[in-house]
Amino acid sequence: MDPAALIPTPDAIPVHWGWLQLLLQTTLFCHILLMNITVGTACIALVGYIRDRGAPSPCTELVVRAMPFTIAFTVNFGVAPLLFGQVLYGQFLYTSSILMAVFWLAIVGLLIVAYALAYFAKHLPAGSGSGRPAVAVLTALLLLATAFFFVNNFSLMQAPASWSRYFAHPRGLLLNLGDPTFIPRFLHFIVGAVAIGGLAIALWFRWRRSQGEDSADRWIGHGCRWFSFATLANAGIGLWFLASLPHGLIPPATSTGRLFLLCLAGGSVFALAALFFGLSNRAVPALACILVTLALMLGARSLLRATLLAPWFSLEQLPLAPATTPFMLFVLILAAGLALIAWMMRFTLRAMDGGGQQP
Ligand code: HEM
């Protein structure tokens, strides 16, 4: 069957697609950064609890205290890219969501349980006997499962050629595990999250040291080590991901190919600089460099999606039905919402610093 027959007709967009793409990339950057902090710190706490047989440490205590906040921010910052992604790629995203509907809808349940457990863990007494480590580890596993389903959907949406499997398995249980890019893509996200999670821990304790906490030095080094070794490992996984792409997919001689290579090369150079700073426990310059890497890698990811979808669709084909005023109103409300969230973050940080009291 011709997979093109399975792609619905797209709706018209209210402004030039370039604006929507810019908003998608900007909001996705925020979401992925927050997701990295949530999933990465959860994974580091998971290893910490297993290694210390459930005994608490300042690092695991920090993660357990922060988890309800980080999950909430990640989820809320996921909404905007989902909206922009649906406007630009709805005909692909809706279809892949239906093919894996059971797992896609299960994400709602997984996140509700993870969020509830994160609050529960936070309010249990510290210590191995209290059940707190077990609850925190379970929360981390639920977050990993959520990420797994996200990678399934966002890789399935750009592979319409595989959609006809639906007719043999019409139960909404299709995953994208047969795609050779799937495992390196998932690992690239998770190991990247561990790196950023380590850096977030280092930055928190750097701030604590500036407040006079002498014992914080040890945990700055701990976070920076997680950051550096995960970044090193992720360079290898990134190469694996690149090698798993169909041969000759993005010819370097084309303008897309040149831009793709520029994003990858620029991202790698900044990652190398971040690694250097991480290994010398300099968390702030490491953060500056890795944020540039993240932005460039998300750019490369977007070019890859455009190339994979090129046989079926390009953004230029989206019909335009100009409606600038509602769009401007939307952007204003979005900006006001972001300002409100930034204001809330100040309360959050103050509450965390005060040992986890509610703001
Ligand atoms: C803590 C829970 C979450 C985790 C661990 C998580 C994880 C991820 C991961 C790993 C990706 C990358 C997928 C890929 O490109 O292969 C991703 C992308 C994305 N997530 Fe989340 N996510 C979470 C919550 C949410 C929520 C609740 C929403 C929506 C309300 C959301 C919206 C998105 C969108 C729209 C993208 C991709 C956008 C695009 O590529 O255009 N996420 N997420």
Q: How confident is the model at residue 354 (pLDDT cuts 50, 70, 90)?
A: low
Give the tens place of pLDDT for each residue, 278-324: 999 999 999 999 999 999 999 999 999 999 999 999 999 999 999 99
Copy the structure tokens of residue 86: 């649906």
Examine residue 352 and state whether it is found in any structural domain, yes or no: no
Structure confidence by residue, pLDDT tens digits, 54-78: 999 999 999 999 999 999 999 999 9
Q: What is the dihedral of CA 44, 48, 49, 52, to 10 degrees?
A: 170
Q: Is residue 4 part of a domain?
A: no
Mean pLDDT of 85-95: 97
Averaged pLDDT for residues 203-215: 95
Higher pLDDT, 72 or 347: 72
Given a cut of 50, is residue 276 above it in pLDDT? yes
Residue 180 CA to ligand 1 center (angstroms) comes to 21
CA distance 172 to 164: 13
Please give the structure tokens belonging to residue 131: 């059940």
Question: Does some domain include residue 266?
Answer: yes
pLDDT at 186: 98
Ligand 1, atom nearest to 155 Cα:
16
pLDDT band at 359 (very low <50, low <70, confident <90, very high): very low
Q: Which helix (DSSP H) or strand (DSSP E) does residue 113 occupy?
A: helix 101-123
Residue 298 maps to which CATH number?
1.20.1630
Out of 33, 105, 154, 158, give the residue to mutate to test ligand 1, the one with the largest number of ligand atoms within 8 Å of its CB.
Answer: 154
pTM comes to 0.95
Q: Which residue has the tokens 């604590």?
A: 208
Burial class (CB in 10 A: 0-12, 13-18, 19+), 41: buried
Residue 42 to residue 64: CA distance in whole angstroms: 8
Ligand 1 center–CA 77 separation, angstroms? 9
| Whole-number Cα distances in Å, 167 to 33, 171, 174 | 37, 9, 11
**Separation of CA 339 and ligand 1 centre (Å):** 22
198's enclosing H/E stretch is: helix 182-210
Q: Is residue 28 part of a domain?
A: yes
Report pLDDT for 342: 87
Indicate the average pLDDT of the chain. Answer: 95
Amino acid at 298: L
Spacing of C-alpha 138 from chain mean position:
19
Percentage of residues in the chain having pLDDT higher than 90: 90
Work out how many domains the chain is built from and give that number. 1
- The residues lining ligand 1, judged by C-beta closer than 6 Å to any ligand atom, are 24, 28, 31, 35, 38-39, 71, 74-75, 78-79, 81-82, 85, 111, 143, 146-147, 150-151, 154-155, 185, 189
Q: How many Cβ atoms from other residues are within 10 Å of residue 218's Cβ?
A: 12
Non-local (6+) Cβ contacts of 134 within 8 A are 54
Residue 102: HSE in the Cβ half-sphere, 13 Å Cα cutoff: 7
Which of 165-169, 222-226, 274-278, 350-354 shows the lowest per-residue confidence on average (mean pLDDT)?
350-354
- Tell me: pLDDT of 259 over 60: yes
The number of the ligand 1 atom at minimal distance from the alpha carbon of 151 is 16
CB 122 within 8 A of CB 64: yes
Q: Which of 31, 94, 305 to mutate to test the pocket of ligand 1 (most atoms within 8 A of CB)?
A: 31
The set of residues, in sequence order, having a beta carbon less than 8 Å from that of 184 and lying 6+ positions away, is 237, 240, 241, 244
Position 154 scores a pLDDT of 98
| Residue 332, in any domain of the structure | no
The CA angle 187-191-196, to the nearest 5 degrees, is 145
Q: From the alpha carbon of 190, which atom of ligand 1 is closest?
A: 10
Position 210 in a domain = yes
DSSP run (H or E) holding 23:
helix 17-51
Buried-state track 192-210, b at ≥16 Cβ within 10 A, e below 16: bbbbbbbbbbbbbbbebee
Pocket test for ligand 1, best of 21, 24, 35 (most atoms within 8 A of CB): 35
Atom 17 of ligand 1: nearest residue by CA position: 150
* Closest-lying ligand 1 atom to the alpha carbon of residue 153: 16
Residue 353's contacts (CB-CB under 8 Å, 6 or more residues apart) are: none
Cα–Cα distance between 105 and 150 in angstroms, integer?
11
Tokens of 35: 């997701």
Chain centre to alpha carbon of residue 21: 17
Ligand 1 pocket, mutate which of 37, 150, 151 (most atoms under 8 A from CB): 150
pLDDT at 20: 97
DSSP string, 243-312: HHSPTTSS-TTSHHHHHHHHHHHHHHHHHHHHHHHHHTT-HHHHHHHHHHHHHHHHHHHHHHHHHHHTTT
Measured CA to CA, the distance from residue 57 to residue 49 in angstroms comes to 9
What domain range includes position 90? 11-321
Instruction: Output the CA 271–ligand 1 centroid distance in Å.
Output: 22
Specify the pLDDT at position 127: 75
On whether residue 92 sits in a domain, the answer given is: yes
Q: What is the pLDDT of residue 129?
A: 82
- Closest ligand 1 atom to residue 81 Cα is 35
Domain for residue 267, yes or no? yes
